[in-house]
Amino acid sequence: MIATYCLTNIDRTMKHIIIPGILLLFIMQTSDAFSQDCAKEESLNLSAIKQTNFSNSVFNEEADFWDKLSDSIVDFSNAEFKKPAEFNNSKFNSYVNFSNAKFYASADFQCVQFLSDVNFSRTSFESNVDFLQVKFKSTTDFSYSKFSSISSFKKAKFNSIVNFSNATFKNHVNFNQVEFNADANFTDVIFDSMAVFEKAKFNADANFTSTTLPKYLDFSYTTKISNEIDLTSAFIDEKYGTCYINLNGAAIDKFRFRYKRFKLWFPPGDTKIDYDLKSNVYEVLLEKQKDEGFTLSYEKLDREYKEFKYTEQKGSEIKRIWGNFQNWVDKNWWGYGYEKWLIIQNSVILYVLFSFLNVFFLKHLTRRVYEADKINEYWEEVTGSKLSKFFKSIPFSLFYTAEIFFGFKFDLNRLKYKENLQGWKIFNLVYFITIYLSGLVCIAYLANYVITV
């Protein structure tokens, strides 16, 4: 069974590291099976632990502490477990000390009951460790402990104060459905890859001061929160730069953080999350950021929400393509309304672009599309080589384009409308109207910019 457990966890490790969403689905699917196993084990008779002092011991073989009962203090301080250690379904009625212990292989504490204080401070778990449905009745200390591989506290119950301060989780850690019935201290904890608090219950204070947050942080469906969870003083790991947070179905009003360091994360494997649910998360969190006065964070989230509404629209492929085009325009034209100075820049770029194109067929435009007699007169007087005429026509092109683009002295009578309705000539009108409408749009946005400023 031990070998099977190790192989299973190695397989899980590979899958979970590749796709974070798969980890969450695996957690949900296996919870019922684990619960049944624990319920079955509780009915078995427990044998007493004869020896209680294992301080500085070295376990070179598998450590079998299945179904054990101890009424005395048990000391595993500074012990070394070279092979898998099994403590499943054991019951400790007195103080247990694992401080400075080292687990080089997997450690299994499923369904263990710690009915008195337990100390895991400075304990090192080099491989997978499982605290599934463990009951911690009294004070629990994991301070300065190190978890190098996957660690799970799924469905564990902390009925008294638990201290994880300065602990390090170098891989996935799972607090799915954990009950914190007293204060939980996560100060200065370092999370690395993923921390899952899905459906966790915080019935007392949870302190995340100076915590280094992981790349993926999952608080989905976490609704039972006694006091606000404050992440404003938490750090973001520099190698990730951003913490992807899942708040789907969570009590968002109970979370306080500056969104500028975060990004909403919706695991692709969670089929329960549809467009409407995602929209609700965005809208509730926007209101929270606004109420907290986090202006820059609100702006960042609002930009993301607008992009989401454009790019994740329901409907046909054509609608999706159109949505992506709208998003590109809104983003690059004026930064979703937050970078209005871009309007001036883009207006100038469009004007210069049309002016440059018009240089190549200025004579055609001024005589057969939109007449410009003065320019034609000047054009007749221009002499020199083709290259010389090209550069001399640039000022005329700038003036001619400005008349159409900005509407300076625009005269509809000069437009040869009827002559350009036949055959390929209609593209003359299409090009002219494109310049004219582009100019109108620019003028409208420029006017709005002036008014709002």
Residue 370 DSSP one-character state = B
The single residue listed with the structure tokens 């404003």 is 232
Rounded CA separation 319/331 (Å): 18
Rounded CA separation 97/74 (Å): 6
Quick one: tokens of 353? 């672009």
pLDDT confidence tier of residue 49, bands split at 50, 70 and 90: low
* Mean pLDDT on 88-104: 96
Amino acid at residue number 313: Q
pLDDT at 9 over 70: no
* Mean pLDDT on 86-102: 96
Close Cβ partners of 38 (under 8 Å, ≥ 6 residues apart):
89, 110, 111, 132, 133
Question: 423's torsion region: left (phi>0), alpha (psi -120 to 50) or beta?
Answer: left
**Residue 369: exposure state from Cβ atoms within 10 A (0-12, 13-18, ≥19):** buried
pLDDT at 44 over 50: no
pLDDT confidence tier of residue 38, bands split at 50, 70 and 90: low
- The pLDDT assigned to 170 comes to 95
pLDDT at 45 over 80: no
**How many Cα atoms occupy the beta-carbon half-sphere of 287 within 13 Å?**
8
- The pLDDT assigned to 387 comes to 78
pLDDT in tens, 54-64: 999 999 999 99
Rounded CA separation 121/162 (Å): 11
Report the greatest alpha carbon distance in the chain.
Answer: 113
What's the Cα-to-Cα distance from 47 to each of 73, 360, 446, rounded to whole Å?
16, 95, 82
Contact 252, 281 (CB under 8 A): yes
pLDDT confidence tier of residue 23, bands split at 50, 70 and 90: very low
Stated pTM of the model:
0.81
102 has which bridge partners?
80, 124
Rounded CA separation 311/321 (Å): 8
Close Cβ partners of 373 (under 8 Å, ≥ 6 residues apart):
none
Amino acid at residue number 289: Q
Give me the count of residues in the chain. 453
Express as a percent the part of the chain with pLDDT over 90: 66
pLDDT in tens, 252-305: 999 999 999 999 999 987 777 888 999 999 999 999 999 999 999 999 999 999
